Structure 1
Amino acid sequence: MGLKSKNISILISDGEHPLLTQVVYCLSKSSNIRVYVVSKNDKVPMKHSRYIHKFFHVPEFENSEKWFNHLDGIIEKNDIDLVMPISEDGILFLLDHKNSWDNFNKTTILTSSEFYKKGINKAELAQHMKTFDIPCPSTYILKNSTIADGNIKSLSFPCIVKPASGISGEGIHIFKEPSELKDFVLTTSKTYVIQEFINGYDIDCSVLCKDGQIIANTIQKGSEYENRRFAPPIGIGFLYNEDLLDVVKKLMKSLQWSGLAHIDLRFDSDTNTFKVIEINGRFWGSVDASMLVGVNFADLYIRVSLGENVEQINYKTKTYLSLKGLVKHIKRAPLKVFNFSFLKNQTPLFFSIKDPLPVILRFVNRTRVILAQRFSS
């Protein structure tokens, strides 16, 4: 009996992560997958989703052994086939307990701890790519407020400074002059990477890999953005590019990557090359967009982890708007609200309509926070 005709029980082990919404959206498209969720946060709006069979609140204990005991009980009682972490912290937590947790063999395929930690750390990844001759920006490491004046003067400006670990464009700075960078260096004790600014444009590649080989991928480029600088795009267009894919193949092979990853790249218009910026070793915000163009990474990840062979998948080259992107788009073109094919196939709107309670709760929570901030100021 093939996996498509067999009922499969999946346990998401880090349901407190914001990407739970997109992952559950993708899993809801597979009728034979039953979704269970464990979360350290009991107030997650998605706990009320009609697509989650059971939601378990397991608090964060001082002793991780107690947490795993609770997890083991859920796995046994509900006959869980596969445990799937969706965030980098969730993956790292399971990898760090690989040798002490008896049910680790039930997890989805994962990269080794050594290569995973190297891949998601911008500083270590930069050094790794230099070793393996993988195209990337010129990179300097800033640690404990130390980088020699000579190094600063040798940099080309403008330059970008970003935390060695971080998400959603948080903590990123761009400096136009050496004096600005020098002032910043003196105020921080964290580890940062300093990279040359590349003339060109951002472009991303999402992949599912096994033992360093890419099984499925999509390539996407931002088309709509919020006003916040360095924020993820709220509108994207899917495309094919073999030159970019060759760079990503070399990168994933060098890390012997297994599992999912979202690779940020930048096209260098001065050299006509694609350069790797960083790896997000987890699900990503536009994973639901990939599903709408033909590549359901969540479903594929489960099938590959359970031993199924997956053939190459061709995806559609079309655009996608997040809910924020849709609102912005409709303000410019109000009649778009009547294009039901577009709304269904290129936005997450219909999913939100079918599963409204989590959306309503997120709106209420957000409104409460905004009102509290206004009245406290």
Structure 2
Amino acid sequence: MNSDQVDLLEYAGADGHIPLLQTPRPGLLNEEAVLRRAASGAARPGPAGPATVVVLESNYRLTGAVLFCLSRQKGLVIELLSRDPASPYRFSRYVRAYHYLPKEKTDAEFVAFARQVVETTGAEVFFPIDVAGMRFAIAHRAALAAFVRVLPLPESAAYEIATDKSKLGAFMQQRGIPAPDTILNVRRNLAAQLENFQFPVLLKPVDGIGGGGIELFEDRTAVLRAVEKLPADSSYIIQNCIEGYDIDCNVLYDNGKLVAYSIQKGLLPAASKYAPTEAIEFVRNEAVLEVVQQVMGALRWHGVAHLDLRYDARARQMKVIEINTRFWLTVVGSAVRANMNFPVLACRVALGQRLAPSSFALGRYIPFTNFIRYKLLGRGPGKTYFSLRDTTVRGWLGDPLPKLYHLLTSHSS
């Protein structure tokens, strides 16, 4: 563990159509008042009424998932803030208006543009989707909070620990939180570090997404050779490959307090070895929740996250693999099958509403395209049964133009 990691460890720190509450629009505040309000949480909610959300566009699939979830809340109005002049979501029926600012504009100009959109539309919540958007909102939280409520997000140091696999590994090791054995610095005396390390091992890029870039090695010599060939500016960790099964947990925290969660497990084999599963099932598992509470409590989390865990069959223990510090693609599954609409619930936290404890529903979820492919090709005596209720068919039929535009332009490019 290097000195930078040690410093970071000690940071300071639904488809039920529940009516959203509209709060008084914040006026201009001095910086001290803005920071105090942002740190303490939202003010008391005002009278009931519709709410308007400014969504900061992400990639095609993730944006579509979040817009679908938000569209399920009656009375919620979506304004899309984009840096993409050819965004397919210009044509979305879920979006009232599309607001574009070129990518070459500075962060300060983007904040000013967001303010103009908020003042023009009367929006109450600024809604980032992905890591880049959330980092932007955290970095400019004080400026944004002067004119709009920001989706719940943790302190910067906590966010960076959770986002970086190396920093998270150091954080969990220091606190004794169950996790795979991890080599944080693969370029320092790696041969010695591997002496008593359990094989097989996984070589993982710190910034990898969806299992991309992960390699399995059965022996010490092979992994040493692979590390020697890594680009000088790359960042990797090594973890022992745990015998067991994957299980994930989706969460929403309000200033360190868990207010909503769902637990899901893969049902079908993934398209590639370390890619996400093709379908999921929502399950109960107290052991998962226990270790999730340990790590997120230690981080004093505020906002959403998706945690990848694995059951260690040898140790008979749940272990945290990594944390996705953004919305996740299967957030749609939580909304349509588990009755936990995390984007809507996060808006309610941003608006200062208290969420009553509720349990997620059990059920299966499969993306509509996977459903069609599985119906046509997934044959055999052990075939899992899925119905249209387990899919996002309503999303496909309800908002077809962005999908058609994306299909046509992606094929022509």
- When the two structures are superposed, what TM-score results if normalisation uses the length of structure 2? 0.83
User: SS of the residue aligned with 1:18?
Assistant: helix
Q: Is the aligned partner of 1:289 residue 2:333?
A: yes
Deviations 1:320-349 (A, max 9, x none): 111332123211479xxxxxx921x21011
Q: Is the aligned partner of 1:150 residue 2:167?
A: no
Letter aligned with residue 353 of structure 2 = E
User: SS of the residue aligned with 2:229?
Assistant: coil
Looking at structure 1, the residues matched to 401 and 408 of structure 2 have their Cα atoms a distance apart, in angstroms, of 11
1:127, distance to aligned residue in structure 2 (A): 0.9
User: SS of the residue aligned with 1:224?
Assistant: coil
The answer to which of 325-334 and 222-231 deviates more is: 325-334
Partner residue in 1 for 2:91 = 48
CA RMSD in angstroms, aligned pairs only: 2.0
Looking at structure 2, the residues matched to 61 and 75 of structure 1 have their Cα atoms a distance apart, in angstroms, of 21
* Structure-2 change in CA distance of 1:104 and 1:161 (3 Å): farther
1:10, distance to aligned residue in structure 2 (A): 0.1
The answer for unaligned runs of 5 or more in structure 1 is 335-340, 370-377
Task: Pick 1 or 2: higher relative contact order, CA cutoff 8 A, min separation 6.
Answer: 2
2:323 aligns with one of 268, 279, 287: 279
1:359, distance to aligned residue in structure 2 (A): 1.6
8 Å CA contact 2:309, 2:320 repeated in 1: yes
Matches within 5 A, 1:101-140: 101=144, 103=146, 106-140=149-183
8 Å CA contact 2:118, 2:148 repeated in 1: no
Letter aligned with residue 56 of structure 2 = S
1:146, distance to aligned residue in structure 2 (A): 3.7
Partner residue in 2 for 1:331 = 376
2:140 aligns with one of 87, 93, 97: 97
Deviations 1:213-252 (A, max 9, x none): 2100000001123432211112001001111101101111
- When the two structures are superposed, what TM-score results if normalisation uses the length of structure 1? 0.91
User: SS of the residue aligned with 1:31?
Assistant: coil
Partner residue in 1 for 2:213 = 171
Looking at structure 2, the residues matched to 316 and 131 of structure 1 have their Cα atoms a distance apart, in angstroms, of 35
Partner residue in 2 for 1:305 = 350
The answer for unaligned runs of 5 or more in structure 2 is 1-17, 22-47, 380-385
2:391 aligns with one of 347, 359, 371: 347
User: SS of the residue aligned with 1:278?
Assistant: strand
Letter aligned with residue 182 of structure 1 = L
1:66, distance to aligned residue in structure 2 (A): 1.5
Partner residue in 2 for 1:216 = 260
1:36, distance to aligned residue in structure 2 (A): 0.7
Looking at structure 1, the residues matched to 120 and 304 of structure 2 have their Cα atoms a distance apart, in angstroms, of 28
* Structure-2 change in CA distance of 1:73 and 1:155 (3 Å): same
Partner residue in 1 for 2:310 = 266
Partner residue in 2 for 1:243 = 287
1:303, distance to aligned residue in structure 2 (A): 0.7
Partner residue in 1 for 2:64 = 21
The answer to which of 9-18 and 23-32 deviates more is: 9-18
User: SS of the residue aligned with 2:387?
Assistant: helix
**Percent of pairs identical after alignment?**
28
User: SS of the residue aligned with 1:59?
Assistant: coil
The answer to which of 76-85 and 217-226 deviates more is: 217-226
Count the aligned residue pairs.
361
Looking at structure 2, the residues matched to 41 and 219 of structure 1 have their Cα atoms a distance apart, in angstroms, of 34
